[in-house]
Amino acid sequence: MALHGADVIRFSAGSLRGFPSRTVLMLVAMAIGVCAVVILTSLGEGARRYVTGEFASLGTHLIIVFPGRSETAGINPTTMMGETPRDLTLDDARSLLRNHSVRRIAPINVGSADVSWQGRSRDVVILGSSHDLLGLRHWEIGQGRFLPQADLDLAMPVAVIGSKIRNELFGANRALGKWLRIGDRRFRVIGIMGSEGRSIGVDIQETVIIPVASAQQMFNTASLFRILVEAKNRNAIETVKVFVIDTLQERHQGEKDVTVITQDAVLETFDRILGALTYAAGGIAAISLAVAGILIMNVMLVAVSQRTAEIGLLKALGASSGQILLLILTEAMMLSTLGAGAGLLLGQLGSLLVRQAYPVLPAYAPAWASAAALVVALVTGLLFSLVPARRAARLDPVLALSRR
Amino acid sequence: MACRRYVTRSPLMIELVHIQRNFQVGDQTVHALDDVTLNIDAGDYVSIMGPSGSGKSTLLNLLGLLDRPSSGIYRLNGQDVTLLSDIRQAQVRNREIGFVFQMFHLVPRLTAAENVELPLLLAGLAPEQRRPRVARALDELHLSDRSHHKPEQLSGGQRQRVAIARAMITRPRVLLADEPTGNLDHQSGQDVIHILEELNERGITLIMVTHDQEIGRRARRQLHMMDGRITRGIE
């Protein structure tokens, strides 16, 4: 006696409709569980994408050179003697171009100075660099042009300003071609940054970029803050890294006094950490799914005892234990499926709201998380309804029917 | 072989041989049925009477395969049904036996038609085959205009008629009725009894538990029970 699939579904749907409060309760429990998984993983995934995106915006195949060496040991003789590491110089930077795997470099100098125009002034981060910085960092110029291609030693009085600086200093006036005062020097505005420029810690819209030699003169220093080196391709990164270390060691009398990090390594680390975080968040949220499963079990147990008479009757009418089991399991599975579906929708809605509230956070639930939530919901729904279903199937029809 | 012998003698439907049904209550064993031996012919009209606790409901449940004897043999149509698997027993209940209960036991969320349809649904019959049979069954019991009503919208008499329609939908050969008039007013009870008797006249074996003497005496064969034994009515 095989039941028709459609009959099973219609009958189970009927009994779900017959006890609306119970059905709604279980749907909500399941939906919350799945929703939690979707939203938490989408947050984790959003954070991961945000951070990796930020790092990618630094540039691609990037090698960053810092002066000074980071040691694993906390205190070493150098720190005890207060010896400062050798500076990175423009010559160091220039020497790094002598490798066919290096595509371009950009020396960077940072300081802050008072920038003023016609009485308006503000304190601004000044970035000293070169023409290649623009392409290296994937920035875009909004108006005018970037620093000209010129010798690194040439201290030209030109500046590229961020759009926010432009608005604050010039307001409605035309900024291109105007002479700015930075510190005690005068610079001509030759370009304004496009709105896309973004980098960790520094809002490019609030900085002024001048040639590196000009910055060195202004801050009275020969040293560089960073040297950015771009390898020709991903495979060349390691070669270039070794080349950079070797070259600078040679130039610094055999001292390994620079730190070289590859942006890919940093990226990978963050990617791993945040990926693990997403898994952890998903795992924690999965606990709420298990709780939902237990709730389903309890409520189904109550449902079975509420309906002993009905189950006894079905047996009297010729339902086998297997058929009762099938009916109760179908009911539970419909609940978990509907609940999980609702939870998925809610979760998507939730992450949509997160994306609307924080547009920088690409909070999309990863497909694996949604699929896993769905599978876990269905499996817990099935597992936890086995107990009540078996109880129903074993129900003694005599007792069930004689209860008055 | 055994089967043929019965057929040639008389159409023996039900055969209980030394049936024992014991319940464990604490450390005491209660003999709900104590060595019951009983034959019922096909087409017979049997009433089972006795005080409550005398074992009449246990006997009916056992006849309906809702309960298994502790020992003894129960043959239905010559087949020992106590040895059947759960699934086969369910099939026998579905095809051979109809139940009518004192409490009607209609599924409250289903309409009259859907309640009547249940046994066919459980038998795995296709919907298009079920519908005409349900319609005919309801029509025979003058319930056509009530087919889409829920049980709560029906009177007691109507509910019991729906239950009878449901019991008869698989065309069983035995109809077991457990106090079918117990929850009905006198007039509805009379109607239900007349319906059951009419079914019996058309050939169904009717076995009815009642403690209403007036109803019980209408049966061709009257069994009296006391303390798990049949005290009167064995030929």
Q: Which of A3, A309, A322 sits opposite B105 (nearest CB)?
A: A309
Mean pLDDT (whole number) for B49-66: 90
Nearest to A38 by CA among A274, A272, A342, A282: A282
Residue A361 counted as domain residue:
yes
**pTM, to two decimals:** 0.69
| Total structural domains within chain B | 1
For a pLDDT cut of 90, what percent of chain A falls above it? Answer: 19
For residue B35, count other CB atoms closer than 10 A to its CB: 14
> Coil, strand or helix: which one is B105?
coil
The reply to whether A395 touches chain B by the CB within 8 Å rule is no
Of A68-82, A189-203, A354-368, the range with the highest mean pLDDT is: A354-368
Least confident of A141-155, A174-188, A270-284, B98-112: A270-284
Residue B57 counted as domain residue:
yes
Residue B8 counted as domain residue:
no
A35 with A151, same domain? no
A216 with A334, same domain? no
Q: What is the pLDDT of residue B7?
A: 41
Q: What is the pLDDT of residue A384?
A: 83
pLDDT at A401 over 60: yes
Q: Which of A1, A310, A398 sits opposite B122 (nearest CB)?
A: A1
A252 with A272, same domain? no
The reply to whether A313 touches chain B by the CB within 8 Å rule is yes
Residue A70 counted as domain residue:
no
Mean pLDDT (whole number) for A118-147: 89
- Full domain range(s) for residue B108: 42-67+86-232
A252 with A279, same domain? no
Contact B86 A320 (CB under 8 A): yes
For a pLDDT cut of 70, what percent of chain B falls above it? Answer: 94
Q: How confident is the model at residue A70 (pLDDT cuts 50, 70, 90)?
A: low
Residue B213 counted as domain residue:
yes
DSSP structural state of residue A395 = -
Distance from CA of B20 to the nearest CA of A (A): 17
Distance from CA of A401 to the nearest CA of B (A): 8
Q: Taking CB atoms and an 8 Å cutoff, what residues of chain A touch B64? A: 316
Residue A65 counted as domain residue:
no
Residue B144 counted as domain residue:
yes
Least confident of A157-166, A268-277, B73-82, B207-216: A268-277
Residue A263 counted as domain residue:
no
The reply to whether A404 touches chain B by the CB within 8 Å rule is yes
A185 with A128, same domain? yes
pLDDT at B139 over 90: yes
Mean pLDDT (whole number) for A124-153: 89
CB of B48 closer than 8 Å to CB of B215: no
Q: Which of A309, A318, A404 sits opposite B122 (nearest CB)?
A: A318
pLDDT at A80 over 60: no
Mean pLDDT of chain A: 84
A236 with A274, same domain? no
Q: Taking CB atoms and an 8 Å cutoff, what residues of chain B touch A13? A: none
Q: d(Cα A263, Cα A242) in Å, to the nearest integer? A: 15
Residue of A nearest to B59 (CA): A398
Residue A93 counted as domain residue:
yes
A129 with A228, same domain? yes
A37 with A113, same domain? no
Mean pLDDT (whole number) for A13-32: 86
Residue A71 counted as domain residue:
no
Residue B211 counted as domain residue:
yes
Q: What is the pLDDT of residue A308?
A: 83
Contact A313 B107 (CB under 8 A): yes
Mean pLDDT (whole number) for A101-112: 91
CA A188, distance to chain mean position in Å, is 39
Residue B96 counted as domain residue:
yes
Mean pLDDT (whole number) for A74-96: 68
pLDDT at B185 over 90: yes
A245 with A385, same domain? no
Q: d(Cα B47, Cα B196) in Å, to the nearest integer? A: 12
Mean pLDDT of chain B: 90
Residue A11 counted as domain residue:
yes
A372 with A232, same domain? no
pLDDT at A120 over 90: no
Residue A60 counted as domain residue:
no
Q: Which of B66, B108, B166 sits opposite A397 (nearest CB)?
A: B66
A110 with A160, same domain? yes
pLDDT at B9 over 50: no
Identify the domain boundary among A256, A287, A304.
Answer: A256
Identify the domain boundary among A204, A221, A256.
Answer: A256
Least confident of A27-41, A187-201, B56-70: A187-201
pLDDT at A55 over 70: yes
Identity of the amino acid at A365 = A
Q: Taking CB atoms and an 8 Å cutoff, what residues of chain A touch B86? A: 320-321
A363 with A280, same domain? yes
Residue B28 counted as domain residue:
no
- What is the CATH number for B161? 3.40.50.300
- Full domain range(s) for residue A250: 86-256
Radius of gyration of chain B (CA): 18
ipTM of the complex: 0.88
CB of A63 closer than 8 Å to CB of A237: yes
Which residues of chain B are at the A interface, by a Cβ-Cβ cutoff of 8 Å? Answer: 57-58, 61, 64, 66-67, 86-87, 90-91, 93-95, 99, 101, 103, 105, 107-110, 118-119, 121-124, 126-127, 166, 170
Residue B134 counted as domain residue:
yes
Identify the domain boundary among A201, A222, A256.
Answer: A256
| Total structural domains within chain A | 2
Residue of B nearest to A11 (CA): B110
One-letter-per-residue 3-state SS of A257-312: CEEEEEHHHHHHHHHHHHHHHHHHHHHHHHHHHHHHHHHHHHHHHHHHHHCHHHHH
Q: How confident is the model at residue B1 (pLDDT cuts 50, 70, 90)?
A: very low
Q: Taking CB atoms and an 8 Å cutoff, what residues of chain B touch A306? A: none
Q: Which of A17, A320, A401 sits opposite B87 (nearest CB)?
A: A320
Q: What is the pLDDT of residue A82?
A: 46
**Residue A203 or residue A199, greater confidence:** A203
pLDDT at A198 over 60: no
